Amino acid sequence: MRIGIDISQVVYEGTGVGRYVRELIPRVIAASPEHTFVLFAGSLRLKNKVEAFVRPLLSKSQNIEVKIVPIPPKVLDLLWNVLHIIPVDWFIGHVDVFWSSDWTQPPLHKKTIGMTTIHDVSFLHFPESFPSEILAVQRRRILRTIHECSLFLCDSEATKKDVAEYIGIKESKLLVVYPGVS
């Protein structure tokens, strides 16, 4: 099976999502040598950080392809979450599964299974705590993922409960995968 994973978030040192991706991806790859992993990143200025992340993975595993596209994440958000154009297949070829790590959700081929990770829904739980522009972006992104994804990884039982309650995603589509910590 070919599994595409958006690893763009690895460039953000000190963030929860960046750490989640940096810690989990090597373990997923090591645990599944029978699959081919296509690691995708959209990065213009921080391409060297993506390359530094994948270098040790490539030295340990033969089942990895890397596709770094010189497009800033904000442009991908516009193309994918606002305009919803340019399928990820254009960049990485056909994959059976595509996992977006932070709700930048590309259009997927109809035979591709989409999945994403939901770290929390605090923007829905406590909307008064967020600027209106952040709320708008998060709501737009979650709507796109609901449309494209068949599986939602939640990093806690509490998040799973919140997602079911606040977003209305069926529990059968929610799977708890706790963050890995080295």
Of 99, 75, 80, nearest to 20 (Cα)? 99
pLDDT by 10s per residue, the chain, length 182: 999 999 999 988 877 888 888 888 998 999 999 999 999 999 889 999 999 999 999 998 899 999 999 998 889 888 998 898 999 999 999 999 999 977 788 999 889 999 999 988 899 889 999 999 989 888 888 888 898 899 999 989 999 999 999 999 999 999 998 876 66
pLDDT at 99: 95
pLDDT at 19: 86
Does some domain include residue 182?
A: no
Does some domain include residue 100?
A: yes
Q: Residue 58 and residue 74: Cα distance in Å, rounded?
A: 27
pTM of the model: 0.90
Query: Would you call 42 helix, strand, or coil by DSSP?
Result: strand
Of 25, 160, 27, nearest to 100 (Cα)? 25
Domain coverage including residue 73: 2-176
**Between β-strands 97-100 and 64-69, what pairing exists: parallel, antiparallel or unpaired?**
unpaired
Q: Residue 143 and residue 64: Cα distance in Å, rounded?
A: 30
pLDDT at 17: 83
Does some domain include residue 13?
A: yes
CA distances from 62 to 10, 40, 116 (A): 21, 16, 25
Q: Residue 120 and residue 141: Cα distance in Å, rounded?
A: 13
Q: What is the total count of domains within the chain?
A: 1
pLDDT at 181: 60
Does some domain include residue 181?
A: no
Do the beta carbons of residue 108 and residue 115 sit within 8 Å? no
pLDDT at 103: 77
Does some domain include residue 172?
A: yes
**CATH classification at residue 168:** 3.40.50
